[in-house]
Amino acid sequence: MQQELSPYLDWFTQYVARYAQPDSTEQQYIDLKHDHTLRVFENAGLIVATLPLDSVTARVALLGALFHDVGRFEQYRVYKTYSDRNSVNHGLLGCRILGQEQVLQGEPESIRKAVRATVAMHNKFALPIGLPEVVRVASNIVRDSDKLDIFPVLVSNFTRDGSKSDVVTLGLEEGKTQYTSVILHNVLHGKPVKYADMQYVNDFKLLLASWVFNLEYRTSMELLSERGAMEQLLDTLPALSEMDEVKRVVRAEMYRVLTSDVETKG
Ligand SMILES: [Fe+2]
């Protein structure tokens, strides 16, 4: 049974309150990450509940989920953007903030270190080889939980009429049918797509579609499928034959994972 996590939830709420913005549009960007964090924490709880984990790993995963984006608020305050490319690595910033704020003082050192490492790892392109097992598993849980939540948020950005925000679309070019070929190629071959290769909004859609290959746990795929956001995303792709191929590949991968016998993918 998990030791009470509510003091950490309270700390988080108070921490975010420090970043209150006088301008209501700017406040929305703060709220976006606050609400996102709570949903990621909830997703992590759902995934943790389906896995046979020891109590330390489960605790690191849940605390890692709660604090994964703690760096976002300082990032926004200083740089007014959530683009790491145009500012700082928010995972590393969050890891540093947890140390400065001494939030995890009540935890054993091993948990403190593992939570901070999980926060630092959550937004890495790929996890490095040789991570301690607790950090590796917790990071995978947080990464899946994060993707599951940010996914519908980003998709709704493409399905909403007209209004779009470059804080969320990372300042990409609109170009109705334009896309970057290396990104299409990687999606079709189940390879990871790099943020740095993105040029158009369609590239961002393709990057999101490629996440079907990046979820670690079958429970994550079940949640993605139940919530229907992948189909919503596929609906927003331009009417081009190569995009029909993307849809086919993405649906086949979902089906493969959902019908497999093992809990972990790949
Ligand atoms: Fe993040």
pLDDT at 102: 97
Q: What average pLDDT does the segment 132-153 reach?
A: 94
Question: pTM for this one?
Answer: 0.85
Distance 139 CA to ligand 1 centre (A): 12
Q: What average pLDDT does the segment 61-78 reach?
A: 98
pLDDT at 170: 64
pLDDT at 176: 85
Distance 37 CA to ligand 1 centre (A): 9
Quick one: 11 and 110 in the same domain?
Answer: yes
Distance 188 CA to ligand 1 centre (A): 26
Distance 162 CA to ligand 1 centre (A): 26
Distance 136 CA to ligand 1 centre (A): 16
pLDDT at 1: 40
Number of separate domains in the chain? 2
Quick one: 22 and 134 in the same domain?
Answer: yes
- Looking at 105, 129, 145, the residue that finishes a domain is 145
Quick one: 141 and 184 in the same domain?
Answer: no
* Structural domain that includes position 24: 6-145
Quick one: 114 and 16 in the same domain?
Answer: yes
Q: Does any domain span residue 35? A: yes
**pLDDT band, very low/low/confident/very high, at 263 (cuts 50, 70, 90):** confident
**pLDDT band, very low/low/confident/very high, at 266 (cuts 50, 70, 90):** very low
Q: What average pLDDT does the segment 53-60 reach?
A: 97
Distance 14 CA to ligand 1 centre (A): 19
Distances (CA, A) of 150 to 134, 154, 224: 24, 6, 11
Distance 65 CA to ligand 1 centre (A): 10
Q: Does any domain span residue 22? A: yes
Residue with tokens 């859609």: 205
Q: Does any domain span residue 253? A: yes
CA 72 – CA 109 distance, rounded (Å): 25
Distance 122 CA to ligand 1 centre (A): 7
- Looking at 128, 145, 162, the residue that finishes a domain is 145
Q: Render pLDDT for 164-199 as a digit per residue (tens, 0 to 9).
A: 555 556 678 787 899 999 999 999 999 888 888 999
Q: Does any domain span residue 160? A: no
Distance 261 CA to ligand 1 centre (A): 30
Q: Does any domain span residue 159? A: no
Distance 164 CA to ligand 1 centre (A): 20
Q: Does any domain span residue 152? A: no
Q: Does any domain span residue 113? A: yes
Quick one: 10 and 131 in the same domain?
Answer: yes
Distance 241 CA to ligand 1 centre (A): 33
Alpha-carbon torsion (217, 230, 122, 112), positive or negative: negative
Distance 120 CA to ligand 1 centre (A): 9
Q: Does any domain span residue 164? A: no
Q: Answer for the pair 197, 180: CB distance below 8 angstroms, yes or no.
A: yes
Query: 93: domain CATH number?
Result: 1.10.3210.10
Quick one: 44 and 119 in the same domain?
Answer: yes
